[in-house]
Amino acid sequence: MNERIPNQRHGEIELFRAVAIVLMVIFHFVYDLKEFAGLDLNYQDPLWFLIGKTSALLFIFISGLSSGFSRSPVRRGFKVLLFGMGITVATYVVMKEQYVRFGILHFLGVTMILFPLLSRLSSRVLWGLIFLSVPLGFWFEEQLLGTSLFLPFGLMYKGFVSMDYYPLFPYVGMTLLGILAYRHFYNLSIPRFSFQLKSRPILWLSRNSLGIYLVHQPLMLLLIFAILFITKTF
């Protein structure tokens, strides 16, 4: 197999990542307006649900794809997982009953750490795991255990609630699709599908997506509480 061109930027990946972070901010803003401002919004409505899930699935797919370009996916994975644990602590302090045990950052961190192992599997095995992960994930949803130890795999306990939960099953299937996309479209001397992107706003959103994810919720909550305070005061 030919070696890919190192350090090459791919406009379509930058675009998808920028779209993912914008969709996620929109969904979380609707969630915050409902939960903290008391507005009559239902973030489980099909439109908002689709926006939230599309964002998360894009992030997961891009993570699997872009790990192929990384020289140290394991180190990046531990970094992202550390941020995820920080969110666990912060949400436990603010919302003890619904705090994040294994959210999107935990998921991305773990799959990045597993990337060197997953990338060694044949394409046939990866496709098999993809088709297995979805029914296995739905089956896990129906099982209730007496422990929280298996939450990362999708096995929950009675009464479990969380404001953000992305277990390995069924979502690891999107990671594996990203690995396959890298293998068959980008790990070549000339990528089969790629274009250069010159839009500075989109590039900024893409290359700062992790930072935006970490700060957007505190900033939106600060804005909402400030508006609520002002309206009640005056």
pLDDT tens digit sequence for 113-149: 999 999 999 999 999 999 999 999 999 999 999 999 9
Residue at 85 is within a domain: yes
Residue at 120 is within a domain: yes
- Average pLDDT score over residue span 62-79: 95
Q: Which two tokens stand for residue 95?
A: 């919302």
HSE-CB for 228 with a 13 A CA cutoff = 12
Q: State residue 3's pLDDT score.
A: 38
Residue at 5 is within a domain: no
Residue at 152 is within a domain: yes
Q: State residue 179's pLDDT score.
A: 97
Residue at 2 is within a domain: no
Domain hosting residue 146, numbered range = 11-186+194-233
- Residue 22 pLDDT greater than 90, yes or no: yes
Nearest CA to 129 among 164, 81, 179, 78? 179
Q: State residue 194's pLDDT score.
A: 66
d(CA 198, CA 161): 42
Residue at 25 is within a domain: yes
Number of neighbouring beta carbons within 10 Å of residue 46? 8
Average pLDDT of the chain is 91
Residue at 4 is within a domain: no
The 10s digit of each residue's pLDDT in 191-203 is: 666 677 888 999 9
**Phi and psi of 17, rounded to 5°?**
-65, -40
Residue at 127 is within a domain: yes
State how many domains the chain has: 1
Q: Which two tokens stand for residue 164?
A: 């953000």
Nearest CA to 63 among 209, 214, 188? 209
User: How close are the terminal C-alpha atoms of the chain, in Å?
Assistant: 68
pTM (two decimals): 0.90
Cα torsion through 68, 213, 157, 148, rounded to 10: 70
Contacts of 100 (CB under 8 A, 6+ apart): 84, 87, 88, 91, 106, 162, 163, 164, 165
